[in-house]
């Protein structure tokens, strides 16, 4: 019935990013000849029983909307396959389920709080050990044990936007047969492709830049080696954290404008970086551009900016946050609307205070997810809030 662009995956390698984002999942459809993918909102598929192999049986297995999204994401990350899940956390969990009791992980020190919680409060109980490190130097290799299986990192990191050299970490890890997983949520496939730098698996919270409109939750694992595909699909069907047809459709619609959005997020962020750089109340500014590994692996700095308000405690920061009119005070990131957050009491509150301060997540730290509004209005909003 539905033929997604599977067969043409490799023919489209010459296409640019946006052409792939828009046309990779083009469906040569049923009689309706709909130009965009319809929503196959069904939990089951009628079987013919005439001996022809069935592709779709039950909605927890394969679904046309998920497959169309997977084809697109495979093309955008230059991978061999993608498997989408009902959330970014479900995507991370599906990878971690490949480990066995006694195995060991080396993870980045700056990790999304939910991933940290999954490792510490779920996988530790299953006797999976984790060491955290910065990957700033090659010293992390001294942490490798005979039981080490995975290296897990995010770059740029959250909330300090530190850029980790993916190629360098991967080369060292592969000498020890370790699988390297890169959470590419902050950069999006438009700004960075970890598989091209040697990483084995990429995960995204599609909730953020890929979907881009703060209206849907989803996750994906994309890989360069098809061996992972089967077991990830098996796990998704066996454990059930699927992305529904409508959510897959919404994300596919969002991803078509990923390039335009990332260009505008980055352009707006650069203006705001310039503004904050000379602001008397800003004592420290964090942005990916200009860091050592930046030009090796990123094609733009993206929309995330963090800065420290001079001599400020939480009360001072809250006074500032209450004054924003355009930026909304909220967790999450990557949507068209600008958000502002206070990592110490919001996204990173689960980390003990002393440890937070040691990592630079001080009470005066503010994180911006710069949206795609008119930048003059964003700067006026910041000017007013910081006044
Ligand atoms: C949000 C996020 C996740 C978790 O994704 P959900 O879609 O919220 O489950 C994982 N990693 C990073 C870097 C994130 O920002």
Question: How many A from CA of 347 to the centre of ligand 1?
Answer: 11
Helix (H, G, I), strand (E, B) or coil at 137: coil
Tell me which of 60, 253, 281, 299 is the catalytic residue.
60
Give per-residue pLDDT as tens, 45-73.
Answer: 998 899 888 889 999 999 999 999 999 99
Query: For tokens 């994401």, what's the residue?
Result: 73
Tell me how far apart the alpha carbons of residues 104 and 148 are, in angstroms, rounded to a whole number: 4
Question: How many A from CA of 34 to the centre of ligand 1?
Answer: 33
Which tokens hold the place of 32?
Answer: 């309706």
Tell me which of 56, 112, 116, 190 is the catalytic residue.
112
**Cα-based distances in Å from 273 to 181, 256, 282:** 30, 27, 11
Whether residue 183 lies in the annotated active site: yes
Residues 239-254 have a mean pLDDT of 98
Give per-residue pLDDT as tens, 330-378.
Answer: 999 999 999 999 999 998 887 889 988 988 999 999 999 999 999 999 9
Whether pLDDT at 8 is above 60: no
Question: How many A from CA of 218 to the centre of ligand 1?
Answer: 9
Question: How many A from CA of 17 to the centre of ligand 1?
Answer: 23
Residues 256-277 have a mean pLDDT of 98
pLDDT of residue 4: 42
Output phi, psi for 126, to 5 deg.
-95, 20
Whether pLDDT at 2 is above 50: no
The protein residue whose alpha carbon is closest to atom 12 in ligand 1 is 112
% of the chain beyond a pLDDT of 70: 96
Tell me which of 20, 66, 149, 208 is the catalytic residue.
208
Find, among 378, 153, 369, the residue nearest to 262 by Cα.
Answer: 369
Report pTM: 0.94
Tell me how far apart the alpha carbons of residues 26 and 68 are, in angstroms, rounded to a whole number: 8
Give per-residue pLDDT as tens, 188-210.
Answer: 999 999 999 999 999 999 999 99
Whether residue 112 lies in the annotated active site: yes
Query: For tokens 């052409």, what's the residue?
Result: 19
Q: Ligand 1 pocket test: which of 207, 213, 215, 331 has the largest number of ligand atoms within 8 Å of its C-beta? A: 207
Whether residue 60 lies in the annotated active site: yes
The protein residue whose alpha carbon is closest to atom 7 in ligand 1 is 88
Whether residue 33 lies in the annotated active site: no
Tell me how far apart the alpha carbons of residues 329 and 369 are, in angstroms, rounded to a whole number: 10
E strand spans, 304-352: 304-309, 328-329, 339-341
Domains observed in the chain: 5-255 (3.40.640.10), 259-386 (3.90.1150.10)
Give per-residue pLDDT as tens, 75-117.
Answer: 999 999 999 999 999 999 999 999 999 999 999 998 888 999 9
Tell me how far apart the alpha carbons of residues 294 and 157 are, in angstroms, rounded to a whole number: 12
Question: How many A from CA of 162 to the centre of ligand 1?
Answer: 17
- The residues lining ligand 1, judged by C-beta closer than 6 Å to any ligand atom, are 87-89, 112, 114-115, 154, 158, 183, 185-186, 205, 207-208, 217, 219
Query: For tokens 């002393």, what's the residue?
Result: 354
Whether pLDDT at 385 is above 50: yes
Find, among 77, 7, 41, the residue nearest to 255 by Cα.
Answer: 77
Find, among 263, 299, 253, 265, the residue nearest to 22 by Cα.
Answer: 253
Give per-residue pLDDT as tens, 109-157.
Answer: 988 889 999 999 999 999 999 999 999 999 999 999 999 999 999 999 9
Tell me how far apart the alpha carbons of residues 179 and 176 are, in angstroms, rounded to a whole number: 9
């Amino acid at each position: 019935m539905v033929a997604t662009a599977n067969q043409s995956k490799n023919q489209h390698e010459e296409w640019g990013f946006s052409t792939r984002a828009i046309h990779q999942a083009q469906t040569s459809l049923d009689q309706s000849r709909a130009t965009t993918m319809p929503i196959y909102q069904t939990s089951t598929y009628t079987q013919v029983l005439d001996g022809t192999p069935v592709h779709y049986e039950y909605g927890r297995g394969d679904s046309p909307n998920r497959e169309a999204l997977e084809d697109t994401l495979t093309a955008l990350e230059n991978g061999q396959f993608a498997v989408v899940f009902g959330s970014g956390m479900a995507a991370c969990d599906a990878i971690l389920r490949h480990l066995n009791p006694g195995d060991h992980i080396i993870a980045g020190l700056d990790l999304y709080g939910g991933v940290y919680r999954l490792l510490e409060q779920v996988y530790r109980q299953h006797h999976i050990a984790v060491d955290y490190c910065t990957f700033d130097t090659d010293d992390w290799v001294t942490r490798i044990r005979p039981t080490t299986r995975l290296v897990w990192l995010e770059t740029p990191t959250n909330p300090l936007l530190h850029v980790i050299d993916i190629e360098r970490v991967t080369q060292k890890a592969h000498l020890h047969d370790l699988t390297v997983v890169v959470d590419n949520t902050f950069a999006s496939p438009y700004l960075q492709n970890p598989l091209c730098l040697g990483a084995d698996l990429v995960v995204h919270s599609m909730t953020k830049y890929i979907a881009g409109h703060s209206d849907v939750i989803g996750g994906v694992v994309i890989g360069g080696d098809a061996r992972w595909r089967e077991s990830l699909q098996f796990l998704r069907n066996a454990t059930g954290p699927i992305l529904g047809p409508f959510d897959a459709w919404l994300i596919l619609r969002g991803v078509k404008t990923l390039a335009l959005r990332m260009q505008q997020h980055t352009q707006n962020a650069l203006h705001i970086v310039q503004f904050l750089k000379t602001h008397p109340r800003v004592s420290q500014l964090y942005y990916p551009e200009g860091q050592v590994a930046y030009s090796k692996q990123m094609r733009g700095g993206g929309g995330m900016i963090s800065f420290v308000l001079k001599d400020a405690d939480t009360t001072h920061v809250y006074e500032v946050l209450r004054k924003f009119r355009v930026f909304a005070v909220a967790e999450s990131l990557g949507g068209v609307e600008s958000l502002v957050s206070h990592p110490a009491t919001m996204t990173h509150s689960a980390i003990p205070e002393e440890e937070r301060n040691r990592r630079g997540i001080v009470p005066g730290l503010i994180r911006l997810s710069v949206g795609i509004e008119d930048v003059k209005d964003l700067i006026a909003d910041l000017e007013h809030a910081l006044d």
